[in-house]
Chain A
């Protein structure tokens, strides 16, 4: 393994985010009931486990994943189906599978499996001329199957992220502009249909709140309003670690899951936020750079896929918390508490590291696709 090619920039950025994330979770949950205040410890455990998994993912040459692409995808689909059979109902949706005291969210891992499957498909289907809609039919199907399953749970946020990741990967290919226009138009037609048939009432409510934020502060607008107040109260330099009043006095709901950024913003102010947003931006841009330097199509799509996963999660979460996007339950990578999410992101970073470290390696399988060297 080419140890010299270790990607320190990626490692340090991800580590910084993870460390800051845990510190922030400590602040976010320090005042809550006993059951919540243990969350930052759990987060450390998940991060350690995630780090180990990432190392494992990094060590195995990513081209093995190419070979196993559809198998992994199949496993993911099976798990999603199992959710309906074994799933645990929490807050009106079943997203979890429990094995003993351990429970996980298959939809999180599905994101990685889908990236691998799409990368494999595009790797196996090289094109020189522009792609038409027909060429994207199978990737679209690969996305649609898990999406439908996830929407059934229902988990609008994850489904949305899946579709945006798919769109990002599509845009990576040389798609015909006519096809693009067709996609956009059909999407425009689909929106009202989605509003009527797919969205649940609470989801519609969130979008309405987003469109008219101050209408119902005590009711459905509570989350968004208090998140904005907390962020704004941070000012230039913040109120100091664990001193943000809105968090300390429980005005921020879901402060450990969907709104940890509001806690961070209140504690550290604009300067802290700028650094944090800079770290996420750097991570995403670095992923694009890794893709650009990847030596094969599989690696490139993999890197773009993981990059888009981080990008859309970060952008949607930050947008939601700052009130430029409606409230959609999307986690902030490495900041939100939650095992499945942490493991997924950590393994994704492992994939990035994997692609990055093998960018100079010229494989004999370059033209044949056969793996001879590990």
Chain B
């Protein structure tokens, strides 16, 4: 009833509440104020840093991988651009995106009136219907949402390594096909294809295992210094890395160092430019990339080409040509080989996979560099070392004759010779390749003396070439046999060793270096495949002089005797290689026909068994015989007889070497004349200027002669050259 007594506008009911309300409101805003103080003042710097990191992105600047050239400046490996097409799903097909409106009810993407460009792009790329439907489905899928971080805005790779025609077509119509981007990505390119592919090697995308080595667990949380330490070359997923050959061994030189640049990005990942954006960039804002170093190899690609031609009739084999005066490898050839272009990503991932499958299922093992990783019984090419062993310890008088009846029996075993040679001395025995003589020699010399001399010539040990995996081969000793056959040493082991059979194995490279040592008076060089490291403009950063590995301790007169015998092999009427000698070629060498010891246990089909049962054909030689320049070793696997199969190939190689040398001699002579004339001009001209004679040789920007002749290179790089990347192989 009291309600009726209270006037409707008696405000006293509310009076006591206002104060509380004011207090609560005041406190509430106070809390907001405190929170703002905490965010902006207490943690302000921290958030400012986060805000800064949000808008700054470090964009890597690519570097170019170094170029590999042959001894005469021809490009063996370089990079070419591969054009890939990316599309942004939300932009090539705006119609697939959900219509979007903001809070005020304005539908945003209707006013811009974007049209679908996808069909046009697909037409231009000439996609087949399959690819087309697959990609269309993918685009529609991505466009299900179009929030800021939706896959709708993430580019998809559509096509790799486009032809230039299509690229030109796309570039011409850029404005009509929004959302389509052509990016160029460097792809390793090998102009000589399969030639010298083992020495050069190939590049591939870095594999997970290697990457895990450079980016171990906890990489994300590492500091910049730690990262630099564990991953000095800065490998990222998807990077290209040298897989075999020089590409792998000299990776740290070739790779170069990527640079980076800070860019301002917005939340959608778009780059922002202009003064507002530049204001945000803090120093240092850019680090220039260091391009990879170029390599000059010792290899003459023309010589490799001629070997390839000479080896065409044969399925498998290898050849090495080495300069006996320096140990520089003029040619390395291993058959079968591969085309590194197929493996280095040019034609897309499918092509790479296909090529690998083919290469790894081939029983002739094309990926193996047989010059270094193949260990074979040297056969009769080993005889000079047995002879030297006998001569050194004066066990045998070389002029004394032995009688060869075509066989020799030791206990219950009979050892055969190739022919009945009759009475032979050491020279005849080498020239005619008489086994009986060497059996008798071995009997008195013993295995360990032979092993010592062979080892002094570098056989049975890794040569240290540093490129591709290397097999040590094996020069057996008595103790090796003792271990292997549990103390039961038989004289037959020694006899086999003396003619390069049994457990004796060498690599073609070892044999080439050993013959080079025979030719040059006993100096065993370290093999050299890389002549120099150069900068992009052609100046030499690092030049590698020849390195002597060891000196064989043999008396010069003994060596002369062996040299004479090797000369007889080719030039004596009775010499094994006499039938294939070539007029005008001065070659000394030794043939070899090595039994492989293959026994078909029934697993192989007859055709394969026939092939595998054939002997390895060898020819090891040097030329010119009187003043040797090169040593050549040719091995034709399962080729049959050394004198008839391997020796002609070696002759071809020597002939080609001479032809090339002669041709080159003519050219520098002409160039030298030009140089002299220019030098005269230079006296009058204010700025000295030099010109390189060879085609393709870049000039130094300061007028210094760039690399003209590989043998006349300046010993050091220019002083302002930065030091090469660390981590030499």
Binding site for B on A (CB under 8 A): 33-36, 39, 42, 88, 90-91, 96, 98, 103, 123-129, 168, 171-174, 218, 226, 228-236, 243, 245-246, 248-251, 253-254, 257-258, 265-266, 269-270, 273-274, 277-278, 280-281, 284-285, 288-289, 291-292, 294-298, 300-301, 304, 307, 311, 314-315, 318-319, 322-324, 337-339, 366-367, 369
Minimal beta-carbon separation of A62 from chain B (angstroms): 12
- Once the chains bind, are B40 and A90 in contact (CB under 8 Å)? no
- Once the chains bind, are A33 and B272 in contact (CB under 8 Å)? no
| Known pairs A35-B111, A234-B44; A126 contacts B6 (CB<8 A) | yes
Minimal beta-carbon separation of A106 from chain B (angstroms): 14
- 23 sample A-B contacts, Cβ–Cβ < 8 Å, listed by A number: A35-B111, A98-B105, A124-B8, A126-B7, A172-B14, A228-B39, A229-B51, A229-B54, A231-B40, A233-B44, A236-B44, A246-B54, A248-B276, A249-B55, A250-B266, A251-B267, A257-B102, A273-B36, A295-B9, A304-B21, A324-B31, A339-B104, A369-B9
- Once the chains bind, are A297 and B10 in contact (CB under 8 Å)? yes
- Once the chains bind, are A311 and B25 in contact (CB under 8 Å)? yes
Whole-angstrom CA separation of A173 from B39 in the bound complex: 38
Whole-angstrom CA separation of A322 from B22 in the bound complex: 22
Report B1-33 residues with CB < 8 Å from chain A CB. Answer: 2-3, 5-11, 13-18, 20-22, 25-26, 28-29, 31-33
- Once the chains bind, are A168 and B37 in contact (CB under 8 Å)? no
- Once the chains bind, are A245 and B52 in contact (CB under 8 Å)? yes
Contact residues of A: prevailing secondary structure: helix
- Once the chains bind, are B266 and A277 in contact (CB under 8 Å)? no
Whole-angstrom CA separation of A173 from B18 in the bound complex: 11
- Once the chains bind, are A236 and B104 in contact (CB under 8 Å)? no
Please tell me which one of the listed residues B25, B31, B48, B54 contacts residue A235 in the complex, with CB atoms under 8 A apart. B48
Please tell me which one of the listed residues A246, A281, A318, A369 contacts residue B51 in the complex, with CB atoms under 8 A apart. A246
Answer whether residue B149 sits at the interface, using C-beta atoms and an 8 A cutoff. Answer: yes
Cβ contacts under 8 Å, A251 to chain B: 51, 54-55, 266-267
Whole-angstrom CA separation of A298 from B268 in the bound complex: 52
Minimal beta-carbon separation of B33 from chain A (angstroms): 6
Answer whether residue B123 sits at the interface, using C-beta atoms and an 8 A cutoff. Answer: no
Cβ contacts under 8 Å, B315 to chain A: none
- Once the chains bind, are A236 and B32 in contact (CB under 8 Å)? no
Please tell me which one of the listed residues B14, B25, B265 contacts residue A249 in the complex, with CB atoms under 8 A apart. B265
Q: Give the interface centre of A34, A103, A126 by most chain B CB atoms within 10 Å.
A: A126
Whole-angstrom CA separation of A263 from B678 in the bound complex: 71
- Once the chains bind, are B32 and A324 in contact (CB under 8 Å)? yes
Please tell me which one of the listed residues B13, B21, B47 contacts residue A127 in the complex, with CB atoms under 8 A apart. B13
Binary interface encoding of chain B residues 87-111 relative to chain A, with 1 for a CB under 8 A from any of its CBs, else 0: 0000000000000011111101001
Cβ contacts under 8 Å, A311 to chain B: 25, 28
Minimal beta-carbon separation of B105 from chain A (angstroms): 5
Answer whether residue B166 sits at the interface, using C-beta atoms and an 8 A cutoff. Answer: no
- Once the chains bind, are A288 and B52 in contact (CB under 8 Å)? no
- Once the chains bind, are A277 and B44 in contact (CB under 8 Å)? no
Q: Give the interface centre of B13, B18, B32, B33 by most chain A CB atoms within 10 Å.
A: B32
Q: A230-B51, A257-B103 are in contact. List 15 more A-B contacts (CB 8 A).
A: A35-B108, A36-B102, A39-B104, A90-B101, A171-B17, A232-B51, A236-B44, A251-B51, A277-B36, A284-B29, A285-B26, A288-B18, A300-B11, A304-B21, A338-B103
- Once the chains bind, are B33 and A232 in contact (CB under 8 Å)? no
A131, closest chain B residue (CB): B13
- Once the chains bind, are B102 and A274 in contact (CB under 8 Å)? no
- Once the chains bind, are B9 and A366 in contact (CB under 8 Å)? yes
Minimal beta-carbon separation of B43 from chain A (angstroms): 6
| Known pairs A294-B11, A297-B14; A42 contacts B36 (CB<8 A) | no
| Known pairs A270-B40, A369-B8; A254 contacts B103 (CB<8 A) | yes
Cβ contacts under 8 Å, A128 to chain B: 2, 5-6, 10, 13
- Once the chains bind, are A172 and B104 in contact (CB under 8 Å)? no
- Once the chains bind, are B37 and A270 in contact (CB under 8 Å)? yes
Minimal beta-carbon separation of B366 from chain A (angstroms): 48
Whole-angstrom CA separation of A116 from B175 in the bound complex: 59
- Once the chains bind, are B25 and A250 in contact (CB under 8 Å)? no
| Known pairs A123-B8, A231-B39, A338-B104; A300 contacts B266 (CB<8 A) | no
- Once the chains bind, are B21 and A288 in contact (CB under 8 Å)? yes
- Once the chains bind, are A174 and B32 in contact (CB under 8 Å)? no
- Once the chains bind, are B10 and A126 in contact (CB under 8 Å)? yes
Report B567-586 residues with CB < 8 Å from chain A CB. Answer: none
- Once the chains bind, are A296 and B21 in contact (CB under 8 Å)? no
| Known pairs A236-B41, A292-B18, A315-B29; A229 contacts B111 (CB<8 A) | no
- Once the chains bind, are B14 and A173 in contact (CB under 8 Å)? yes
Cβ contacts under 8 Å, B43 to chain A: 232
Please tell me which one of the listed residues A42, A127, A288 contacts residue B6 in the complex, with CB atoms under 8 A apart. A127
- Once the chains bind, are A318 and B6 in contact (CB under 8 Å)? no
B41, closest chain A residue (CB): A270
Whole-angstrom CA separation of A63 from B268 in the bound complex: 54
Minimal beta-carbon separation of B101 from chain A (angstroms): 5
| Known pairs A33-B108, A250-B266; A322 contacts B47 (CB<8 A) | no
Report B67-104 residues with CB < 8 Å from chain A CB. Answer: 101-104
A319, closest chain B residue (CB): B32
Answer whether residue B127 sits at the interface, using C-beta atoms and an 8 A cutoff. Answer: no
